[in-house]
Amino acid sequence: MQRAAVHTISTRFSDLDTQRHATSRTYEDACLGDRYRVLEDAGYGWKRMIEESVRMTALASDIRFLAQQMENTVLSVRTDVRPGTDGKLLFHQEVLGADGKAAAEIRTLVQTEKNGAPTNLLASEESAESLVSSFESVLAFSGSCDRAATERDLFYCERNPFGEYNPSHYWRILEEGRWHFTADSGLSLEDLVALDTTLFYMGGKIRYHRPLVAGRKARVRTWIRNFEKIWGHMRQEITDSVTGEILAESLDNLLVVSVSKSRPKRTPERLISSAARVTEFPDSEEVG
């Protein structure tokens, strides 16, 4: 494993969301910058990558959020990388708060290619298979329930210098799907307040299959895989609205929290019944 230097970022007011803390995308975009910095240290800055048709594509992310962060906070990003064969790289990154404690952990498996063929930009230290196998698959939808669905435009102006979308753009679409899911289940903000309940997105697994296509719409389908005591396990798929192909999929972990007591609570029956139509395994306490 190769250790990269620790770098810092400062959060801004524009990083805050409706929950009044920095968004998950703030962490991912900071980590993305350090992943490119690792390649730059190996002699492949992004300008050279463009000139030589070298690309780094995300294949999978495993995410954990551990502490909320506010604006005007200096965060540190610590990056380790495990180079594999066939252009595979596994990044393990921690975003540290001002107190030095981890606020988020993001593991990202990427593929590096030149002219569409796998290429090793770092000297490989282990097999591609061992890196890939460290990321669990997200089980396919069983078809046993309805799914909340909505579409979102893919704007040309939100692409990166490679003419592609950063992983955080997938994250944005998935978050839109989670918001739509709540409305589709008939639960307003007032309903959740009456239940003294909120759902914290604590992380999950994202698997990237195909690139988002600018100018099209992405359809995101969202459903509950199952409830498990204080957890709601949510499944999502992003598909191309033209071809129907799955572009990305996720299994998200939502912690059920009492707002008044600021601590986890068992999932209210009202929440379970409101989501019954879009719950894949309503009687299961286990997650595949």
pLDDT-based confidence at 51, cuts 50/70/90? Answer: very high
pLDDT for the residue 288: 43
Mean pLDDT of the chain: 93
All domains in the chain, ordered by first residue: 1-135 (3.10.129.10), 138-283 (3.10.129.10)
Q: What is the distance, to the nearest Å, from the Cα of residue 163 to the centroid of all Cα atoms in its chain?
A: 20
Name the nearest CA neighbour of 66 among 201, 226, 225: 201
Name the nearest CA neighbour of 224 among 268, 185, 188, 168: 185
pLDDT for the residue 3: 67
Specify whether the CB–CB gap between 254 and 234 falls below 8 A.
yes
Rounded to the nearest 5°, which phi and psi values hold at 171? -60, -40
CA–CA dist 135, 239 (Å, integer):
21
Task: Tell me the HSE value of 116 on the side-chain side, using a 13 A CA sphere.
Answer: 0
pTM value is 0.94
Note the pLDDT tens digit of each residue in 69-86: 999 999 999 999 999 999
Q: Can you tell me which residue has the tokens 């190996």?
A: 42
Note the pLDDT tens digit of each residue in 232-242: 999 999 999 99
Our CA dihedral for 259, 264, 265, 271, rounded to 10 degrees, sits at 70
